[in-house]
A and B are shown apart, each in its own frame.
Chain A
C-alpha cells in the first residue's frame, strides 16, 4: 500500500489540478517535442517534480516511469574515488550533484559530458518527432557550488542538440546569471488553501474518510494553513489524522498534527519570552543539541524560532523589527561559520536582550 501522496500523484498533464496556465505551457512544450533548457523553481511541496514527470510522460510515454538506480564511480583530480547514485530511465537521468559537496563539479563535468557527447539513437519511433536528446534532471540546483554552475555554462550551449537540462530548485537567487540567461524559467507557486482543500476533498471521497459533521471547508483550510501551503505535507498530515481515528473530529479546535521538533521550538520561543536569564540559555542549549543530533538543520531551527518569536509578539512592532534584524545577522553568521551552536545560542541571548528592552 502506498502513501496517499504517491497514490494520488498525477501521472499525466491532464490530471494536474491547479496552475492551469503553467500546465497549458508545459503541454505546448511537450507537443512540439522539443524544448529549451528549463529551470523550475518554487517552494517545496508545490508540485515541481510532479509537473516535470507529467511533461516527460507526455513526451516519451510511460517508459519514463521505469526507473533504475545506477552507481557510478568518479575519480577526482586528487585521485579519490567517489560513488554517486544516478536514477535513470531509457530517456532521462536524474541526479542530485549537491550530495557530493565540493566534488559536485566533477560530477557535472564527467557525467554530463559523457551523456551529452553521445547522440541518442531512437530506432523504435519512426515518426517525425524523434527525440535526439536525452533529459537530465538536476535536483537542488541552488546548492550547486559556483564552480559546478560555471562548468554547466558551456556544456549547456555546446551539446544543446543532444541534451536538455531541467534544473529544479527552491530559489533562483543562488543560480548564477549566465545559467538563468540560458534557461526558460518556470515558476511554480504554492497551491492556495482553496486548491489544497479541493484536493483533500477529492481524496476524502475516494478513500471514504469519515468526517464528523461541521464546516468541512474550514477544516481543510486549517489543514492547508497549518502545513504552510505545502501540498505534500498537507496530504501526509491528513493521512496521519485519518489513521489515528475512525472519524476525524473536524469541528473541535484540537491540535492538528504538529511535528515534534516544531512543538519543541515553539516552547523554546515561549521560554525565551518568559524567563530571560542565563539558566534558560543553559537549559535551551541541551534542547538545541538534541535537535541538532536529530538532524534538524541549524538554519531551519533559527528560521522557525525567529518566526515563532515574531508570531508571539506580533502586536509589538518595534520588537518585531529588532528581532528580525537580529535574526538576519545571525542567519548570515550561521551560513559563514561552521559551529552552528554558537550562533544559535548567540541569537537566543541577543533576542532575550531585545525582548527585555521592550517588555518591562
Chain B
C-alpha cells in the first residue's frame, strides 16, 4: 500500500476500517448469515428486507454479500446504493431506480467468473428505507415485480412498521437481533489488539454495557477514548471514567443524590438540584434512562409504585419526543415521582 492510501486509512474511522469484508466476519447474526451463504451457493437471491436496531450489522452484511457475489470489478455496474442522504422522492424512484432496474446486465469478464459467482442480476440497496415517503414506497411496488428477472431489491430499515405492507410482503424478511455480548466482546478485543490499545477487560465490558448491543457505538467509544488517552502521554490507559464521560453517562453518585431527594420529598431542593443538572448540560434523555434503571430494576420501591413510575416515565418520554422543553418536563417528572413514592 502506498503512503497516500496508508494516510487515508489512518484518517478513516474504525467503524469503516473494521467493517466486515466478507459474510463470515459479521458478528453473531448466525441465522441470517447461514441463509445468505446458502443463497450465494445457489446463485439466486430473493428480494430482501433487513430490519433491526442500529449497529447490528445490516448495512455491513449486504455490502459484504454484494462484494462476495460480484467482486470489485463488477460491483460498480451491478450494485446501486441509495440512502437517506440521496434525494428519494417519488420522482427519483420513477427515474433513477427504474432506469437502473431495467438496465440490461453487464457481462462479467472471464477472471471475474472464475473467482466470483456473478449471478445474472443487479442489486439495488435502499438503505434507511423507513425514511422514504409512503408515495415513494408505493411507486416501488410495481417496479420490484416488473424487473424481478434482472434486479433484486434489498431494503434496510430500523422499524419494519414504517414499511408499507405491500412492499414488505414482496420481500423475505431478515431480523437482525441485538448482538450478544460474547461476540461483540470478541470483536472489540480483536480491534484493541490490532490497534495496540492499553485496555482492561472490565473496561471493555463497561463499553459493551453502555452501548447496549450497538456494536457501532461500542467501536466509536473505543476509538474516541483511545484518541483522548493517546495525547495525554503520561497515561494512555483507558479507564471506565473516560468511557463514561465520552458516552455522556451521568455518574452514579448524581443519580443516587437525585433519588435520595425524591425519597425525601423536599420540593425546593429538587427544584434547585434539577436546575443545576440542566446547567451542567447533561442529556435529559440519558438521565431518564438511568433514572428508570435505578428505580425500576431495584427493590427499593414497591411494585405498585413501579407501575405508576413507568407510566410517568412513558408520559415524559412522549412529551420530550414532541419537542418540549427539557427543563420543565424533567422537573415535572421528578416532582410527580416524589409525590407518589
A residues in contact (CB < 8 Å) with B: 24-25, 27-29, 31-32, 34-36, 41-43, 46, 77, 108-109, 112-113, 130, 132-133, 146-147, 150-155, 157-158, 160-161, 171-174, 177-178, 180-185, 187-190, 228-229, 299, 302-303, 306, 310, 314-315, 317, 320-321, 324-325, 327-328, 331-332, 334-336
Given contacts A173-B283, A328-B324, 6 further A-B contacts (CB under 8 A): A29-B231, A34-B11, A109-B86, A153-B84, A187-B248, A314-B267
Measured between C-beta atoms, what is the minimum distance from A311 to chain B in Å?
9
Measured between C-beta atoms, what is the minimum distance from A65 to chain B in Å?
24
B280/A153 in contact, CB under 8 A: no
B246/A32 in contact, CB under 8 A: no
Q: Can you name 22 A-B residue pairings with CB atoms under 8 Å?
A: A29-B227, A29-B231, A31-B231, A34-B10, A34-B11, A46-B281, A109-B86, A109-B87, A154-B84, A161-B8, A181-B54, A181-B216, A187-B248, A187-B280, A302-B328, A315-B268, A320-B271, A324-B335, A328-B328, A332-B322, A334-B324, A335-B323
Residues of B within 8 A of A109 (CB): 85-87
Query: Most chain-A CB neighbours within 10 Å: which of B246, B247, B283, B324?
Result: B324
A321 and B339 in contact (CB under 8 A), knowing A29-B227, A42-B281?
yes
B230 located at the interface, meaning its Cβ lies under 8 Å from any Cβ of chain A in the complex? yes
B284/A154 in contact, CB under 8 A: no
A36 and B325 in contact (CB under 8 A), knowing A109-B85, A132-B7?
no
B32 located at the interface, meaning its Cβ lies under 8 Å from any Cβ of chain A in the complex? no
B residues in contact (CB < 8 Å) with A: 7-8, 10-13, 15-16, 54-55, 83-87, 89, 91, 127-128, 131, 211, 214, 216-217, 220, 223-224, 227-232, 245-248, 265, 267-268, 271, 278-286, 319-320, 322-329, 331-332, 335-336, 339
A28/B228 in contact, CB under 8 A: yes
Measured between C-beta atoms, what is the minimum distance from B215 to chain A in Å?
9
Measured between C-beta atoms, what is the minimum distance from A289 to chain B in Å?
22
Residues of B within 8 A of A299 (CB): 325
A187/B322 in contact, CB under 8 A: no
B328/A28 in contact, CB under 8 A: no
Measured between C-beta atoms, what is the minimum distance from A195 to chain B in Å?
12
**B14 closest partner in A (C-beta):** A36
Measured between C-beta atoms, what is the minimum distance from A46 to chain B in Å?
7
Main SS at interface, chain B: helix
B85/A229 in contact, CB under 8 A: no
In whole angstroms, how far apart are the Cα atoms of A273 and B327 in the complex? 23
In whole angstroms, how far apart are the Cα atoms of A43 and B84 in the complex? 30
In whole angstroms, how far apart are the Cα atoms of A35 and B268 in the complex? 43
In whole angstroms, how far apart are the Cα atoms of A178 and B89 in the complex? 22
Measured between C-beta atoms, what is the minimum distance from A37 to chain B in Å?
8
A181/B217 in contact, CB under 8 A: yes
Residues of B within 8 A of A174 (CB): 323
Measured between C-beta atoms, what is the minimum distance from B13 to chain A in Å?
5
A321/B267 in contact, CB under 8 A: yes
A-B pairs, top 8 by smallest CB distance, nearest first, are A28-B231, A42-B281, A328-B332, A181-B217, A154-B83, A150-B84, A317-B267, A184-B224
Residues of B within 8 A of A36 (CB): 13, 220, 223-224, 227
Residues of A within 8 A of B128 (CB): 150, 153-154
Measured between C-beta atoms, what is the minimum distance from A115 to chain B in Å?
13
Measured between C-beta atoms, what is the minimum distance from A319 to chain B in Å?
9
Residues of A within 8 A of B10 (CB): 34
A321/B336 in contact, CB under 8 A: yes
**B82 closest partner in A (C-beta):** A154
Residues of A within 8 A of B328 (CB): 302-303, 306, 324, 327-328, 331
Measured between C-beta atoms, what is the minimum distance from A29 to chain B in Å?
6
Q: B131 touches which one: A133, A147, A181, A306 (CB < 8 A)?
A: A147
Measured between C-beta atoms, what is the minimum distance from B187 to chain A in Å?
15
Measured between C-beta atoms, what is the minimum distance from A191 to chain B in Å?
9
B336/A325 in contact, CB under 8 A: yes
**B282 closest partner in A (C-beta):** A187
A189/B280 in contact, CB under 8 A: yes
